[in-house]
Amino acid sequence: MTSALLSPAPLADLDTAALREAHAAFAQAYDELKAAGLALDITRGKPSADQLDLSNDLLHLPDGAYRDAAGTDLRNYGGPNGLPELRAIFADALRVPVAQLLALGNSSLTIMHDTIAQALIHGVPGGELPWGRQSISFLAPVPGYDRHFTILERFGIRMIPVPMNEDGPDVEAVASLLAADDSIKGMWCVPVYSNPTGAVYSEEVVRALVSMPAAPDFRLFWDNAYAVHHLSDDRPAPIDVLALAAEAGNPDRPLIFASTSKVTFPGAGVAFFGASEANVAWFQHNAAAQSIGPDKLNQLRHVQLLKDADGLSAHMEKHRTILEPKFAAVDTAFRERLAPWGAGTWNAPKGGYFVSLDVLDGSAKRAVQLAKEAGIAVTPAGATFPYGDDPRDANIRIAPTFPPVEELRTALDGLCTAILLAEAETLLAGRD
Amino acid sequence: MTSALLSPAPLADLDTAALREAHAAFAQAYDELKAAGLALDITRGKPSADQLDLSNDLLHLPDGAYRDAAGTDLRNYGGPNGLPELRAIFADALRVPVAQLLALGNSSLTIMHDTIAQALIHGVPGGELPWGRQSISFLAPVPGYDRHFTILERFGIRMIPVPMNEDGPDVEAVASLLAADDSIKGMWCVPVYSNPTGAVYSEEVVRALVSMPAAPDFRLFWDNAYAVHHLSDDRPAPIDVLALAAEAGNPDRPLIFASTSKVTFPGAGVAFFGASEANVAWFQHNAAAQSIGPDKLNQLRHVQLLKDADGLSAHMEKHRTILEPKFAAVDTAFRERLAPWGAGTWNAPKGGYFVSLDVLDGSAKRAVQLAKEAGIAVTPAGATFPYGDDPRDANIRIAPTFPPVEELRTALDGLCTAILLAEAETLLAGRD
């Protein structure tokens, strides 16, 4: 796409004349891209149609059955904790004892939202006041998940960004913030294949997070969304955050969330909540006023589809087979198109749903805008930061799972063209 | 069961000797009842197994299908408003335009709870402050639905009882309370076949409720749970509460809730929310932070099962066929066992799920306790009043739907024995 006459080199190292030449070549490539009239979308972490096909048995199940192993008629009211059989399938991967793992409705986002709403109205065990009667704040490792931030923004809870490292959030930063400010009541954590950096929290980081001094009603919102979503054979051992927290004398600190959204169907799945006995009792007490029980037949469908922990693992291998080429395509595109120009740094995640790309400071918004104008929808720049505010304007979240791989390659190639043009613009503007 | 020597007459009219004789006969009957070792349950408004069987096609549906009429893949994320096809099926019965009727998750109780939680945290359109920043109260027509009361009790919202008439709540009482107290922000209404009295709100009452002066953020929580749950051919015309409220200049006053819980499966149904455009926009804004969309495949199942408004009506006729003999059994039991002793007054509802029985003041708790000790579980006396406090200790909610009709007859007969004994005890105690 770029001029054959131009020999790639890190853009920032080019002299102004060479940079102008590069800019002209990128602009021409971009005009050709726009002329192609694409309509592609890599905005969201959605499974692709062929991933959804892996669970199509759910469209026939439970095949006339409607009783659980104990003989309960699942068609009727009741069963607020969810099916024990389904909770048993996920207990090992999530490292939560079945008795403390609840299987609930369609969305873990809903459980997280509602947990914060209940904490605002009632407070949590160990706290003196409802969160809503105080001016509270949350720690938000960045880059992070925009829907986490939206919940807090909607509730008027202040977010304090914390840097993410490859082994989890910067625990020294977390510890010094917590020590200085007891209005901090929560922290978002995606401990395995973090959204979007793919970081996996190390045991050392987890031990630090559950041990460090904090307010008694401080909670780790442990969104283990990608616990079983591996993309390689190099897999982290599940960390038993509840046991580590108990060992550290803070058993009530972690609140664990997960779902089958990216295991079966995002539009018809099952969410999980796990925590200490005290937190689970608190949750159940709140939920008793809210619901007579979750959709238990959908839970039965999931039991019949996945069968057991091994069945779950085998099912996730099929997802991996579909997803690996897409993540490889991201890496290839960026290696071929961005690396020669020194135009980006990114991760090659071992699981999860995203690649986090950092472009030249001050270029992300413009690159995403250029891509959009060329018919390639990308997650808005800034979305990975609280209030949509990426102070460096550098981070772009790549969600490669949804489109077919050929469309994905086309979208990535176009995005790279947009990024190169945006970076050349930024650098030229800096030399005016 | 009672002594053949004893000639029934209103207990309150008996002289003390006759009352003692009646008491002895009831006590003997009760001892025989206890000796029978029953284990029966008429506590909750649950459909019976043969009612659930009417919807067993849901256990195979959507039979491989996963797209709505517009071609959207319902397996994936999205579609926060729910399936238009399903909303269209219920729009007529609920008298809500499809565009203002949302199809959501498994439980209307959850929608009601969450709506109040959002109002506490954010306030509602037209209000100046979040409800949670004020000391607010709700009007609660009594007898009413215990789960409504539980939500408010849990949130610390004061409940003010209002008497129910046969055509709805006493509108003069409501109007004078609203005029005197602008802390009143809500009122529970079950407008059709009210729980438990079976009252159907008249158009006159509805017009009064939507017209009378009230705080701008006052809301009618219009729980239309039994809109299509008829038990006779004498059916109320659906009332368009949204249109009447708009006509009265208070378009945002009603919030409408409904569900398929007693249409298909209580454990795997679909809930609905309907309101003015402003309220729907408010709801959608809140829900956008809480969920990426409800379980759309379950909504598709319901579309395939019910097909259209006529299909819904035909389906409800099958429920009626199963339920009519049970409600007849209640009426028969009370006529045969209570009426001769002047021992109760009750309604013969034309729809819904309950019969409301009033026994001699001061006898309900004791009667329910006696029944329980004889193995017959009945809704706790007082449950139909806020805080479980029935000031007359007279009301007992009868939920006849769940047990097979023979079991129901046995349970009712035993309950009547318990009531007669309790009333004789109460009267004798009053003559000491």
Q: Extract the tokens encoding A90.
A: 């996920």
Q: Which of B59, B75, B289 is nearest residue A63 as measured by Cβ atoms?
A: B59
The answer to whether residue B60 neighbours chain A at the CB level (below 8 Å) is: yes
Average pLDDT over residues B253-276: 98
CA B342 to chain centre: 27
Does A63 sit within 8 Å of B289, measured CB to CB? Answer: no
Q: Which residues have a Cβ under 8 Å from the Cβ of B4 and sit 6 or more positions away?
A: none
Residue type, position A232, single letter: S
The answer to whether the Cβ–Cβ distance between A113 and B58 falls below 8 Å is no
Q: Give the pLDDT of residue A2.
A: 46
Rg (CA), chain A: 23
Kindly determine whether residue A105 and residue B106, on different chains, have CB atoms separated by under 8 Å: yes
Residues 265-304 of B with CB under 8 A from A: 265-269, 286, 288-298
Residue appearing with tokens 């940079």: A19
Interface test with A, best of B108, B148, B292, B402 (most A CBs within 10 A): B292
Band of residue B7 on the pLDDT scale cut at 50, 70, 90: confident
Q: Select the residue of B44, B47, B297 nearest A265 (Cβ to Cβ).
A: B297
pLDDT digits (tens, 9 = 90+) for B271-302: 999 999 999 999 999 999 999 999 999 999 99
Determine the pLDDT at residue B38: 95
Q: How far apart are CA A22 and CA A11, in angstroms?
A: 8
Of A60, A75, A268, the CB nearest to B52: A75
The pLDDT tens digits of the residues spanning A97-136 come to: 999 999 999 999 999 999 999 999 999 999 999 999 999 9
Which residues in chain B have their CB less than 8 angstroms from residue A62's CB? 59
CB A265 within 8 A of CB A52: yes
pLDDT value, residue A5: 56
**What is the reported pLDDT for A432?**
74
Cβ-Cβ contacts under 8 Å for B227 (sequence gap 6 or more): B93, B94, B192, B238, B258
Q: What is the pLDDT of residues A347-392, one digit of tens each?
A: 999 999 999 999 999 999 999 999 999 999 999 999 999 999 999 9
Three-state DSSP class for B137?
strand
* Burial zone of A139 (CB within 10 Å; 0-12 exposed, 13-18 middle, 19+ buried): buried
Q: Is A52 in the B-facing interface, judged by CB distances under 8 Å?
A: yes
Give the global pTM: 0.96
Query: Is residue B105 within 8 Å of residue B249, measured between CB atoms?
Result: no
Taken in order of first residue, the domains within chain B and their CATH numbers are 3-51+313-431 (3.90.1150.10), 74-307 (3.40.640.10)
B4 has a pLDDT exceeding 60: no
Averaged over A288-304, what is the pLDDT? 97
pLDDT single digits (tens) B220-257: 999 999 999 999 999 999 999 999 999 999 999 999 99
Stretch A77-99: mean pLDDT:
97
What confidence category does residue B347 fall into, taking pLDDT thresholds of 50, 70 and 90? very high
Residue A1 has a pLDDT of: 44
pLDDT of residue B240: 98
Closest to B64 (Cβ–Cβ): which among A46, A60, A77? A60
What is the count of residue pairs from A and B with beta carbons less than 8 Å apart? 166
Torsion of CA B112, B185, B387, B355, to 10 degrees: -60
What is residue B204's predicted lDDT score, i.e. its pLDDT?
Answer: 98
Could you tell me what percent of chain A has a pLDDT over 90? 98
Q: pLDDT by residue (tens digit) across A413-427?
A: 999 999 999 999 999
User: Is residue B345 classed as helix, strand or coil in its secondary structure?
Assistant: strand
3-state helix, strand, coil in chain A (%, to 5): 45, 15, 40
